[in-house]
Amino acid sequence: MDYTDLYINGGWRKTQERFDVINPATEEVLTSVASAGISDTDAALDAAEAAMADWAARTPRARSEVLRKAWELMTARLEDFARLITLENGKARADAMGEATYAAEFFRWFAEEAVRADGLITHAPSSGARIIVQHKPAGLAVLITPWNYPAAMGTRKIAPALAAGCGVVIKPASETPLTMLALMPLLEEAGVPPGLVNVLPSKRTGALVDHMLHDPRVRVVSFTGSTGVGRTLLKGAADQVLKPAMELGGNAPVIVFDDADMDVAIEGTMLAKMRNLGEACTAANRIYVHEKIAPEFTRRLTDAMSALKVGDGTDPSVDVGPLVNAATRDKVAEFVADAVAKGAKLECGGKIPAGKGYFYPPTVLSNVPETADCVQDEIFGPVAALQTFTNTEDVIRRANDTEYGLVAYVFSGDFKRGLQVCERLDYGMVGLNRGLVSDPAAPFGGTKQSGLGREGGHEGMLEFMETQYISASW
């Protein structure tokens, strides 16, 4: 591992305190990483402030070209990034390649968006003054990312921040700091000036982030992670009234109608459930299948889940790697035990294998009762929890009956009915006959306690910009 220190002002800084990064497939220490303290945050913010002055003054095209170069360089090195992602996170090679590709695409998309911060000029209806509206970089941004997508959750914030003209300090998840550190030499090569992007892994996360949120130079806090930590950060952001962008937890329902194309529904549900082995905020958490097709759907989904090969994600023949750590694996096992105790039927999986590594097998539960914990909370693992329904109104009510509102999936052969149901789901995103909605060109984000703001699409860059209106006469 070449990059294990703090990355500040374009250089590597050592610290006294370090912490270990574990390979979840072997439980062995991969390496240790420097742990940032409060004084390091001050150095990182100083560097970001100095670099931003020049960066924000560059033309949009100049910023765009640096981002475009970052996409080219990352695309040429997908294999290297995928390998590192697998080593520190555990996900199988195909998932890791998918993530690396997705992560790189944010640089391309925001290279294209950097030159499209459109404003407006119009006449005020009554006074006749000109209304001029423009967008300006919001200021320094603190970015906090989770372990489930060590590359993509970072680039989904870095790329729009840089496109907008902001400098950033990133606090990557302690389980998976290596990928973000490894991205830094690539950004240097692409032409990102020293200091504009700084990376601070730390074991003193709460105090470190809180200190940055109270620095008067910081104007944006962009967070992806659990709803609980999101609430804490929103409270911290209130003191300086920071712009918050919050990508939080999910509890995604999948609704499969009896007129759905069965092949499409199985493929889409597998993707929604097993992409990233279920460790995704977008993962199918509650799968509602029309009673008429439930026996066939359950059998086919069980066959597909049972056919997946579990093992060390660095082996290219493996479909499902280990979960990220023992706590995550044990929580998944508890969800299954709880559902079974409350009357669910175990169709396959459900047993932690012996030996090293935080593995959990692809598991299908049918007849999951509404009272099961996994109906209320994110499973965050490879467990498909099936329920049945007969009535459309009833399934819409059940799907909406959660504090979360990130993503839902609907499968129906009747496009009109499908769209009508999509519109009544209180979710920021809906997949209609698709198990994958994530796309750099689309606004990703949730309603209710799944978050605030959007990443990607045209909205993504605006999270890092302030709107200024000038009332002018001439």
Residues forming contacts to ligand NAP in the complex (CB under 6 A) are 144-149, 153, 171, 173-174, 205-206, 209, 224-226, 229, 232-233, 247-250, 281, 378, 406, 451
Minimal distance in Å, beta carbon 9 to ligand NAP?
22
Please classify residue 394 by burial: count the beta carbons closer than 10 Å to its beta carbon, then call 0-12 exposed, 13-18 middle and 19+ buried: exposed
Q: Is 444 in contact with 455 (CB distance < 8 Å)? A: yes
Residue whose CB is less far from ligand NAP, 262 or 436? 436
Using alpha carbons only, give the angle 171, 176, 181 rounded to the nearest 5 degrees: 60
367 φ, ψ (degrees, to nearest 5) = 50, 40
- Name every residue whose Cβ is closer than 8 Å to that of residue 237 and which is 6 or more positions away in sequence: 213, 221, 244
Encoded amino acid at 238, one letter: A
Residue among 137 and 146 whose Cβ is closer to ligand NAP:
146
Beta-strand pair 243-247/18-23: unpaired
Provide the minimum distance between the beta carbon of 282 and ligand NAP in the complex, in angstroms, as a whole number: 7
Q: Cα separations (Å) of 430 from 248, 272, 443? A: 16, 11, 12
Q: Which is nearer to ligand NAP, 174 or 433 (CB)?
A: 174
Q: What is the DSSP letter of 348?
A: E
Using the minimum distance from each CB to ligand NAP, give the nearer residue, 64 or 89: 89
C-beta neighbour count of 424 within 10 angstroms: 14
Residue 113 or 378 with smaller CB distance to ligand NAP: 378
The token duo for 409 is 């999936």
| CB nearer to ligand NAP: pick between 212 and 304 | 212
Amino acid 144 reads: I
Q: How far is the CB of 300 from ligand NAP (least distance, A)?
A: 27
Helix, strand, coil: what percent of the chain each, to 5? Answer: 40, 25, 35
Q: Tell the residue number behind the tokens 């907008």, with chain if given.
A: 164
Which of 99, 113, 166, 281 does the annotation list as catalytic?
281
Report the amino acid identity of residue 236.
G
Return all residues near 351 (Cβ < 8 A) that are at least 6 apart: 361
- The residue at minimum Cβ distance from ligand NAP is 225
281 catalytic residue (yes or no): yes
Give the separation between CA 143 and CA 168, rounded to whole angstroms: 7
Residue 192 backbone dihedrals phi, psi, to 5 degrees? -70, 125
To the query of whether residue 28 is one of the catalytic residues in this protein, the response is no
| Alpha carbons 394 and 381: distance in angstroms, whole number | 27
Q: How far apart are CA 111 and CA 108, in angstroms?
A: 5
Q: Among 99, 105, 175, 247, which one carries the catalytic annotation? A: 247
The residue among 148 and 298 lying less far from ligand NAP, judged by its C-beta, is 148
Q: Which is nearer to ligand NAP, 350 or 460 (CB)?
A: 460
Token pair of 67 as six digits: 């981002």
Residue 121 beta carbon to ligand NAP: minimum distance, rounded to whole angstroms: 35
Q: Which is nearer to ligand NAP, 147 or 297 (CB)?
A: 147
Q: How far apart are CA 269 and CA 249, in angstroms?
A: 19
Structure tokens at 88: 């520190």
Residue 54 burial (CB count, 10 A): 12
Tokens of 229: 């930590």
- With CA atoms as reference, report the closest residue to 159 among 466, 446, 441: 441
* Alpha-carbon gap, residue 123 to 471, rounded angstroms: 10
Q: Closest separation between CB of residue 115 and ligand NAP, Å?
A: 26
CA distance 429 to 442: 10
Catalytic positions? 247, 281
